Chains A and B, each alone.
Chain A
Amino acid sequence: MALEKITAVTGRAVYVPGNDIDTDRIIPARFMKCVTFDGLGEFLFHDVRKNADGTDQAHPLNDPRFRGATILLSGANFGCGSSREHAPQAIQKYGFRAVVAESFAEIFFGNCTTLGIPCAAAARADIARLAAAIAADPSLAVTLDVAAGEIRFGGQAIPAEVRPAARDALIHGRWDAIGELLEGLPAVQALATRTPYLAA
Chain B
Amino acid sequence: MAKSLFEKVWAAHAVRTLANGQTQLLIGTHLIHEVTSPQAFGMLRDLGLKVAMPHRTFATVDHIVPTDQLVEPYRDPLAQAMMEELRRNCAESGITFFDRATGKQGIVHIVGPEQGITQPGTTIACGDSHTSTHGAFGAVAFGIGTTQIRDVLATQTMALGKLKVRRINVRGRLRPGVYAKDVILHIIRVLGVNGGTGYAYEYGGEVFDRFSMEERMTVCNMSIEGGARAGYVNPDQTTFDYLRGRPYSPQGAAWDAAVERWRGFASDPGCPYDDIVTIEAADIAPTVTWGINPGQGIAITESIPDPTHATAADERASIEEALAYMKLRPGAAIKGTRIDVAFIGSCTNGRLSDFREVARHVRGRRVAPGVKAIAVPGSQIVALQCEKEGIDQVLRDAGFEWRAAGCSMCLAMNPDKLIGDQLCASSSNRNFKGRQGSPTGRTLLMSPLMVAAAAVTGTVADAREVFAVNS
Which residues of A are interface residues toward B (Cβ below 8 A)? 18-20, 22, 24-25, 28-30, 32-37, 47, 52, 76-77, 80-86, 88-89, 103, 105-107, 110-111, 114-115, 164-165, 168-169, 172, 174, 176-178, 180-182, 184-185, 187-188, 191-192, 195-198, 200
Tell whether, in the assembled complex, residue A191 and residue B13 are in contact, meaning their CB atoms are under 8 Å apart.
yes
CA distance in complex: A187, B79 (Å)? 39
Interface residue? B324 (CB, 8 A): no
- Counting chain A CB atoms within 10 Å of each CB, which of B15, B38, B254 scores highest? B15
Interface residue? B91 (CB, 8 A): no
Interface residue? B52 (CB, 8 A): yes
How many chain B residues sit at the interface, stated as a range, is 35 or more
CA distance in complex: A168, B411 (Å)? 36
CA distance in complex: A110, B158 (Å)? 12
Q: Given A19-B314, A35-B85, A85-B146, decide whether A77 and B193 contact each other with a Cβ distance below 8 A.
A: yes
Tell whether, in the assembled complex, residue B151 and residue A111 are in contact, meaning their CB atoms are under 8 Å apart.
no
CA distance in complex: A35, B77 (Å)? 12
CB distance from B252 to the nearest CB of A (A): 12
Tell whether, in the assembled complex, residue A184 and residue B12 are in contact, meaning their CB atoms are under 8 Å apart.
no
Residues on the B chain within 8 Å of A180, using CB: 18-19, 24, 159
Q: Given A176-B147, A180-B24, decide whether A33 and B64 contact each other with a Cβ distance below 8 A.
A: yes
Q: Given A83-B128, A83-B144, A191-B13, decide whether A35 and B42 contact each other with a Cβ distance below 8 A.
A: yes
Please name 7 pairs of A and B residues whose Cβ atoms are closer than 8 Å in the assembled complex, sorted by A.
Answer: A19-B318, A47-B433, A47-B434, A84-B145, A111-B146, A181-B157, A188-B157
Q: Given A20-B293, A32-B35, A83-B143, decide whether A200 and B26 contact each other with a Cβ distance below 8 A.
A: no
Q: Given A178-B151, A192-B53, decide whether A107 and B143 contact each other with a Cβ distance below 8 A.
A: yes
Tell whether, in the assembled complex, residue A22 and residue B64 are in contact, meaning their CB atoms are under 8 Å apart.
no
Q: Which of B258-300 contact A (CB under 8 A)?
A: 258, 261, 293
Chain A: CB-nearest residue to B41:
A35
| Cross-chain contact of A37 among B39, B122, B411, B430 (Cβ < 8 A) | B39
| Cross-chain contact of B52 among A47, A88, A185 (Cβ < 8 A) | A185
Number of A-B contacts (CB under 8 A): 191
| Cross-chain contact of B154 among A28, A81, A181 (Cβ < 8 A) | A181
Chain A: CB-nearest residue to B86:
A35
CA distance in complex: A110, B159 (Å)? 10
Interface residue? B413 (CB, 8 A): yes
Per-residue CB proximity of B405-428 to A under 8 Å, as 1/0?
Answer: 000000111000000000000000
Chain A: CB-nearest residue to B38:
A35
Residues on the A chain within 8 Å of B147, using CB: 85, 111, 114-115, 176
Interface residue? B109 (CB, 8 A): no
- Counting chain B CB atoms within 10 Å of each CB, which of A33, A107, A164, A174 scores highest? A33
CB distance from A123 to the nearest CB of B (A): 14
Tell whether, in the assembled complex, residue A28 and residue B434 are in contact, meaning their CB atoms are under 8 Å apart.
yes
| Cross-chain contact of B129 among A30, A83, A88, A187 (Cβ < 8 A) | A83
CA distance in complex: A89, B40 (Å)? 13
CA distance in complex: A197, B148 (Å)? 22
CB distance from A76 to the nearest CB of B (A): 8
| Cross-chain contact of B39 among A19, A30, A36, A165 (Cβ < 8 A) | A36
Residues on the A chain within 8 Å of B35, using CB: 32-33, 84
Chain A: CB-nearest residue to B149:
A85
Q: Which of B5-61 contact A (CB under 8 A)?
A: 12-13, 15-16, 18-22, 24, 26, 28, 35-36, 38-39, 42, 47, 49, 52-53, 56
Chain B: CB-nearest residue to A35:
B38
CA distance in complex: A182, B430 (Å)? 36
Tell whether, in the assembled complex, residue A30 and residue B412 are in contact, meaning their CB atoms are under 8 Å apart.
yes
CB distance from B154 to the nearest CB of A (A): 7
CA distance in complex: A93, B64 (Å)? 24
| Cross-chain contact of A174 among B19, B28, B161 (Cβ < 8 A) | B19
| Cross-chain contact of B42 among A28, A36, A168 (Cβ < 8 A) | A36
Per-residue CB proximity of B220-244 to A under 8 Å, as 1/0?
Answer: 0000100101000000000000000
Tell whether, in the assembled complex, residue A198 and residue B56 are in contact, meaning their CB atoms are under 8 Å apart.
yes
Minimum-distance CB pairs A-B, first 4: A85-B145, A83-B129, A111-B145, A177-B159
Per-residue CB proximity of B54-91 to A under 8 Å, as 1/0?
Answer: 00100000001000000000001011011001000000
Residues on the A chain within 8 Å of B437, using CB: 29-30
CB distance from B227 to the nearest CB of A (A): 7
Chain A: CB-nearest residue to B437:
A30
| Cross-chain contact of A47 among B143, B257, B321, B439 (Cβ < 8 A) | B439
Residues on the A chain within 8 Å of B317, using CB: 19
Tell whether, in the assembled complex, residue B229 and residue A188 are in contact, meaning their CB atoms are under 8 Å apart.
no
Tell whether, in the assembled complex, residue B156 and residue A107 are in contact, meaning their CB atoms are under 8 Å apart.
no
Residues on the B chain within 8 Å of A89, using CB: 146
Q: Which of B377-434 contact A (CB under 8 A)?
A: 411-413, 430, 432-434
CA distance in complex: A123, B413 (Å)? 37
Residues on the A chain within 8 Å of B261, using CB: 196
Q: Given A106-B197, A165-B20, decide whether A182 and B127 contact each other with a Cβ distance below 8 A.
A: no
Q: Which of B93-129 contact A (CB under 8 A)?
A: 119, 121-122, 127-129
Q: Given A19-B314, A106-B227, decide whether A184 and B293 contact each other with a Cβ distance below 8 A.
A: no
Residues on the B chain within 8 Å of A178, using CB: 47, 150-151, 154-155
Per-residue CB proximity of B347-370 to A under 8 Å, as 1/0?
Answer: 000000000000000000000000
| Cross-chain contact of B432 among A25, A36, A165 (Cβ < 8 A) | A25
Interface residue? B435 (CB, 8 A): yes
Tell whether, in the assembled complex, residue A81 and residue B78 are in contact, meaning their CB atoms are under 8 Å apart.
no
CA distance in complex: A28, B78 (Å)? 16
CA distance in complex: A32, B158 (Å)? 23
Residues on the B chain within 8 Å of A115, using CB: 147
| Cross-chain contact of A181 among B42, B79, B158 (Cβ < 8 A) | B158
Residues on the B chain within 8 Å of A47, using CB: 433-434, 439
Interface residue? B194 (CB, 8 A): yes
| Cross-chain contact of B193 among A20, A84, A111, A169 (Cβ < 8 A) | A20
